[in-house]
Structure 1
Amino acid sequence: MIRSRRPSSPQAALLFAAGFGTRMGALTQDRPKPLIEVAGRPLIDHALSLIRPLGLGHVVANLHYKAEMLEAHLAPLGVKTSVEWPDILDTGGGLRQALPLLGPGEVFTLNSDAIWAGPNPLEMLRAAWDASQMDALLIGIAPDRALGHKGAGDFTCDAEGRVMSRGPGLIYGGAQIISPKLLDQVPERAFSLNRVWDLMQAQGRLFVLEYPGQWCDVGHPDGIALAETLLAESLLADTHV
């Protein structure tokens, strides 16, 4: 079990917001997926509400599909943008392009298409981060706590949270702390962070932290109603505490 935090702590976050949102069908014909509303707020604003309490010096979003709409939304919020053009760069290429805006050292990354009910996953990551033994620390969701997600999971871990294999187990929740130092080992301009995770796993430096709350995948239309129900139930539970 991951218990302790080392003194180093990321000072920047990258929001992944470049995707085409094809699973959303007609909902993304006139807007990018991060601007689809859940409970009256764009998805990307829900994600930003997790980042703001951290007091980070740099917050960046990578953009591609309908980038101008997201730029107009994010600029008044103080979020810098890294526009990928002419091609989308996937998660690894997107992070590498954004590094000059993020500054040196480890960074948080956060997908913008999930809703969380429970503790702030980024604060959990920061408390558990240990740069002496980790190159990446990912949030994992047990399948029975994941709404709107199909599949048996992505990672199996040992008792310390170190990833032992890729496959059925905890589901990647789209939140992590990651060191960028291995990004240059991938020669392609566009590539998935899975390539980098594989390198880290081979060195025993890829870890997963299990999330104790609930999580909803809003990458498809059915996820919107599921997420709104989850938020309503969470708010009701908070009022009875």
Structure 2
Amino acid sequence: MNGPAKNPSVAMVLAAGLGKRMRPITDTIPKPLVRVSGKTLLDWGLDSLTEAGVERAVVNVHYLPDQIVEHVASRQAPRIEISDERDGLLDSAGGIVRALPRLGAAPFYIVNADTFWIDEGVPNLTRLALAWDAGRMDILLMLADLEQATGHSGGTDFLVAPNGTLSRARGAPDGLIYAGAAIVHPRLFAAAPETPHSLNRYFDEAIASGRLHGMRMSGSWITVGTPDAIAPAEAAVKRALAEAQ
């Protein structure tokens, strides 16, 4: 693929989580429908996918699923397909495995439905696609540094080598945070079980083979883990949008 056609046209949006840390808000709505600056967390991600040229997004659902199904029904772009996990939560990787028949044989985006970002310049998902090289990579992660992050309460996740390959940072101060967006090749899941398991297994396998790569994002990255994180998130949105003007 060359030029703009290199952007994946399909995405997997992980929206099935229970959102327990967002209680009591998530007692009545699923976390992806929590609003920040007037827009749901889910729509922040779907809008970014639309801007990157994604035509179709597979959204998995488990907790209060009907609310998400109803919410996305009104979207024109990207075209939404639902991957139903009402019978049991499959975690990040298991959810992808169930959705594989809908995702196709080409590389696709993965986006978490509970984090988002404000681009600065070229959209980050477009930059991610331009950096993607299926010959060298099985997974390409979008990464943020601690200064770009609002609402992040943990440490760092990955260290980036000069050639772009990643290793586990284990909280190292010069490490970067996984920013909840990636491009993956479906071959990674060829023998994967449709059982509950995490993407971290595949991150580690790709590290071992030198095929986990990362790209530092531009702009601001925002995660909303608890109700008291909403106000700082909205302040970060306001600040980032003002700086972008």
**TM-score, normalization: structure 1?**
0.91
In the alignment, the residues of structure 2 paired with residue 5 and residue 141 of structure 1 have an alpha-carbon distance, to the nearest angstrom, of 25
- Give the length in aligned residue pairs: 236
In the alignment, the residues of structure 2 paired with residue 176 and residue 230 of structure 1 have an alpha-carbon distance, to the nearest angstrom, of 23
In the alignment, the residues of structure 2 paired with residue 87 and residue 32 of structure 1 have an alpha-carbon distance, to the nearest angstrom, of 16
Offset at 1:90? 0.6
**What are the equivalent positions in structure 2 for 1:87-98 lying under 5 Å apart?**
87-98=88-99
**What are the equivalent positions in structure 2 for 1:1-241 lying under 5 Å apart?**
8-77=6-75, 78-119=79-120, 120-168=123-171, 169-187=175-193, 189-239=195-245
| Equivalent pair of 2:109/2:184 in contact (CA under 8 Å) | yes
1:76 aligned counterpart, secondary structure: coil
Offset at 1:159? 1.1
- 1:113-162, CA deviations, whole angstroms, 9 ceiling, x for partnerless residues? 12312333211211111111010000111112211112221111201220
| Equivalent pair of 2:7/2:53 in contact (CA under 8 Å) | no
In the alignment, the residues of structure 2 paired with residue 122 and residue 206 of structure 1 have an alpha-carbon distance, to the nearest angstrom, of 17
Structure 1 residues 48 and 6 mapped into 2: Cα distance closer, same or farther (>3 Å)? Answer: closer
Offset at 1:230? 1.1
Structure 1 residues 66 and 101 mapped into 2: Cα distance closer, same or farther (>3 Å)? Answer: same
- 1:13-69, CA deviations, whole angstroms, 9 ceiling, x for partnerless residues? 011100000010100011100111111111111111101022223211111001111
Structure 1 residues 116 and 57 mapped into 2: Cα distance closer, same or farther (>3 Å)? Answer: closer
1:79 aligned counterpart, secondary structure: strand
| Structure 2 spans left out of the alignment, 5+ residues | none
Offset at 1:235? 2.2
Could you tell me the percent identity over the aligned residues? Answer: 37
Offset at 1:216? 1.4
2:188 aligned counterpart, secondary structure: helix
In the alignment, the residues of structure 2 paired with residue 5 and residue 164 of structure 1 have an alpha-carbon distance, to the nearest angstrom, of 29
In the alignment, the residues of structure 2 paired with residue 8 and residue 45 of structure 1 have an alpha-carbon distance, to the nearest angstrom, of 23
Give the letter for the 1:99 counterpart: L
Give the letter for the 1:65 counterpart: Y
Offset at 1:166? 4.4
Offset at 1:164? 2.8
2:83 aligned counterpart, secondary structure: strand
Over the aligned positions, Cα root-mean-square deviation in angstroms equals 1.9
2:74 aligned counterpart, secondary structure: helix
| Structure 1 spans left out of the alignment, 5+ residues | none
Q: Which runs of 4+ in 1 moved over 6 A?
A: 4-7
